[in-house]
Structure 1
Amino acid sequence: MFGRRITFGKKQHTLGELQELMRPTPDADGVTRVFPKEIWDDPKVGAMLRDLGFNPDDPRNIRKTAEDYVAMFAAAKKRLDERSEAFNRDMTARYGYCRAVPFLVIDHTIWDGEDGAFLYASMNLIGFDDWNVLMLAADERTRQMCGIAGHPGTVPAVTDVVAKHVTAWKARHEAALELYGVTATGGEGGITREQYETEKDTLRQEIVDKVGWMKPRIIDELVRIQG
């Protein structure tokens, strides 16, 4: 994917080589940047990046650390637990009993893999948030009393469909990133930062919308199977 050649002065680099320069290691000040300080110190490339509206400490140029992601996931899981408790409390008040648990449309097998990193690192999406969650019955009593579909555990058919979509979304993002990388490093035929950000926002919304589209269909299929 990152094979296009771009030019810094007289030397040519592939985007793959640029990615190596952009390796996720901290700069001398301990901050890990997408474009590290050594790139900003290059008189041609640094000036070009600044002309494009970037600076070394732009939030978009700061990589999250593993600790940042751990904290982010923990906070999202806590919010999900709180929403689940509120859901069960409200449904119990209405029906006398409820024990529902979350079902993730994009499940943990995807989030724990390389494509999961694309979703949370590039798309800023977290699987524990509402957009990806259905509340389903944990037992038969809840299913009967509350009228909600039973939790099926993992659903390989759903996971397979979602995995194909995620792979396609990731490829689209990489293509946009490659085109933006051409522009950001002084090449021709790429896209602007604004165009890249627009494409990324569009793609992110498409992911959320697709999962939203799948939710009622998953419920309908579970109800059909469970009777």
Structure 2
Amino acid sequence: MFGRRTTFGTNQQSFAEFKETMRPTPDADGVTRVFPKELWDDPKIGNFLREVGFAPDDARNILPTAQDYIALFAAAKKRLDERTEAFNRDMTARHGYCRAVPFLVIDHTIWDSEHGAFLYAQMNLVGYDDWNVLMLAADVRTKEVCELAGHPGTVPAITEVMTRRVIEWKQRHDAALEAFGITATGGRGITREQYEAEQDALRREIVDNVGWMKPRIISELLRVQS
């Protein structure tokens, strides 16, 4: 199915070429859209998009700007700082002392790469949110008093595993997007509802996988630090 050539009127156009028309650059009005405004003028594509419930200025068709993402990350980082302060207050009240710091399961090296763009732009995930964070001891006293694993800094083995998984998730998303794109260009692919269901399932899988990793990371840190 993937790689099949489809037809716009009398012109042959592959999905790769179709994706090129869905470039992440602003339209003439300065707004960057998933489906650029020019596509809505195409009798076949425009009609299809309307039939499946899209409109040029739907919120889901408007891509966030770099400034939008900067604000999103800043707000998420602020929430993380607040959660860290609250965690340390609560643990200090309980144990007399605590200096814990966040550990990101999918770490900053992944978020700062092309794979990070997939996670935040297509999966709507932010690494500072609770699903991706462990609170670990910043010093020996916290480790002993609060019985927390010590923060190891970056762990190349974890980064390597998570990078491989993110690449696999991205490949699955690209396959679903391509199947939907084939439908959008007049071929036999999948519906918008099926694409969105696959996208939602992938997002849940990513969050669940990170949740599955957390106790295993803690267990291994405690083992090597004991």
Q: Structure 1 length normalisation: TM-score?
A: 0.97
Alpha-carbon offset, residue 114 of structure 1: 0.7
Check conservation: 2:131, 2:210, Cα contact below 8 A: yes
Runs of 4+ in 1 over 2 A off after TM superposition: 1-4
Amino acid corresponding to residue 204 of structure 1 in structure 2: R
Any residues of structure 2 matched to 1:7-46 within 5 Å, and which?
Answer: 7-46=7-46
Q: CA deviation at 1:49?
A: 0.9
Aligned partners of 2:185, 2:41: CA distance in 1, in Å?
14
Post-superposition offset of 1:2: 7.2
The aligned runs of 1:64-213 (5 Å cut-off) are 64-188=64-188, 190-213=189-212
Q: Is the Cα–Cα contact under 8 Å of residues 6 and 15 in structure 2 kept in the other structure?
A: yes
Whether the 8 Å contact between 2:173 and 2:199 is mirrored in structure 1 is: yes
Residue correspondence of structure 1 range 42-61 to structure 2 within 5 A: 42-61=42-61
TM-score (norm 2): 0.97
3-state SS, counterpart of residue 64 of structure 1: coil
* 2:151 alignment partner, SS class: coil
Distance 1:113 1:126 in 2: 14
- Write the distance in 2 (CA, Å) between the matches of 1:157 and 1:47: 49
Q: Indicate conservation of the 8 Å contact 1:136/1:148, yes or no.
A: yes
Q: Taking every aligned residue pair, what percent have the same amino acid on both sides?
A: 74
Structure 1 residue 205: Cα displacement: 0.2
Contact kept in structure 2, 1:52 and 1:184, CA below 8 Å: no
Q: Which consecutive residues of structure 2, in runs of 5 or more, have no partner in the other structure?
A: none
8 Å contact kept, 1:2–1:16: no
Aligned 8 A contact 1:2 1:14 in 2: no
Q: Which runs of 5+ in 1 are unaligned?
A: none
